[in-house]
Amino acid sequence: MAREFEFLLAHPEKRRRFSRTKLIFFALIGCLAALAFWAFIFEPRRLVVRETRLTLPSWPASLKGLRIAVFSDLHAGAPFITLDKIRQIVEKTNATTPDLILLPGDFVIQNVVGGSFMEPERAASQLKQLRAKFGVFATLGNHDWWYNGRRVKKALESAGIVTLENDAVRIEYNGAALWIGGIGDKLEGNPDIKTTLAKIDDDSSVIIITHNPDLLPLIPARVSLTIAGHTHGGQVALPFIGRPIVPSEFGERYAAGHIVEGSKHLFVTTGIGTSILPVRFRVPPEISLLTID
C-alpha cells in the first residue's frame, strides 16, 4: 500500500486519473442510492390524481360529461398502504366530486415484502366514506379470492359499496339510463360475461368493471367502456425500454391507460398498492378521474 501511495505521488497524471475514477465510482453509487430511494420509498408513498378525457362512439349526448373516479389494487396493508393512507385516498377521491366511483378489485394482499396484512373490514371502515352522486361500485380481484372473496364482498357491502360479481345495475344520469356491470376476475372469479349482459334489458349504454383487463377480447362491442386494474401499470416503466414485467398474457398491450381496439374501449388504472415487491418507478399510485365525452 505504501509503495502504491509513493507511486501516485511520483506520477501526478496517475493521481489525477485515480481521483477521477473515485469520483465516477462515488457518483455512480450516489445515483444508484437515489434511484433506490425513489423507487422503494418516495414513489410508492405518492398519490396522484390523473385526469383523462375519453371520447366514446355512440355515447349519448345526455351522458356527456359523466365524471368517474377509479382506483384499483388498494392492497390494504402493503407497504405505505396504512389505514391513514386509505383515509387520504378516500378524501382525494371525494374531492374530485365524481358522479360515479368504480373500484375494480384487489382490496387485500397477503405475504407482501415489507407489508402487514389488513383485514377487509378495517379497510372498508374507511372506504365507507366514499361519496359519489350516483353511487360506489366494486368488483373483486384475484387477491380477494385468494384470501376470502365472500368475506371481502361482505365487508364492502356493509360499507355501502355495491359489489357486482357477474351482475349489473341500472342508474340514471341526466334522465338517461346507464348500466354498470361487474364481471368476475378472469383468474379466480369465474367470469360470466353472458350472464352479466343478460341482465341488461334495454339498449342503454353499458360500462363494465372487471379486475383483469385480459377479458377485453371476450367483451362484446355492445359495451361502451370496460374499466380494469390488476396490472399496476407494471409498477416499473423504464425509459426507452418500457415495462419489464406486466401480469398479463398480452404483455404491455393492456398495461395502462386508454386502449382502443376496433370499436372496443378499455381503461386500465395503474392502482394504488404494490404486489410481490414494494417498488414503483415512473408509475405512481393513482386515482384516475375519467370524463366521458
Domain range summary for the chain, segments of one domain joined by +: 2-36, 48-292
3-class SS of residue 209: strand
3-class SS of residue 229: coil
Mean pLDDT of the chain: 92
What pLDDT, on the 0 to 100 scale, is given for residue 144? 98
What is the greatest pairwise CA distance in the chain? 91
Cβ-Cβ contacts under 8 Å for 14 (sequence gap 6 or more): 7, 8
Gap between the Cα atoms of 19 and 206, Å rounded: 66
Q: What is the pTM of this model?
A: 0.91
Under CATH, to which class is 48-292 assigned?
alpha beta
Indicate if the pLDDT at residue 11 is higher than 90: no
pLDDT single digits (tens) 179-238: 999 999 999 999 999 999 999 999 999 999 999 999 999 999 999 999 999 999 999 999
Q: Which pairing describes strands 48-54 and 286-292: parallel, antiparallel, or unpaired?
A: parallel
Across 131-144, b (16+ Cβ under 10 Å) vs e yields: ebebbbbbbbbbbb
Distance of CA 248 to the CA centre of its chain: 14
Average pLDDT of the residues in 162-173: 96
Gap between the Cα atoms of 266 and 50, Å rounded: 16
Instruction: With beta carbons less than 8 A apart as the criterion, state whether 234 and 256 touch.
Output: yes
Give the lowest-confidence range in 15-19, 69-73, 101-105, 231-235: 15-19
Q: What is the edge-to-edge ordering of all strands in the sheet holding 48-54?
A: 48-54, 286-292, 66-70, 100-104, 136-139, 162-163
pLDDT single digits (tens) 52-72: 999 999 899 999 999 999 999
pLDDT band at 1 (very low <50, low <70, confident <90, very high): low
pLDDT band at 108 (very low <50, low <70, confident <90, very high): very high
pLDDT single digits (tens) 253-285: 999 999 999 999 999 999 999 998 899 999 999
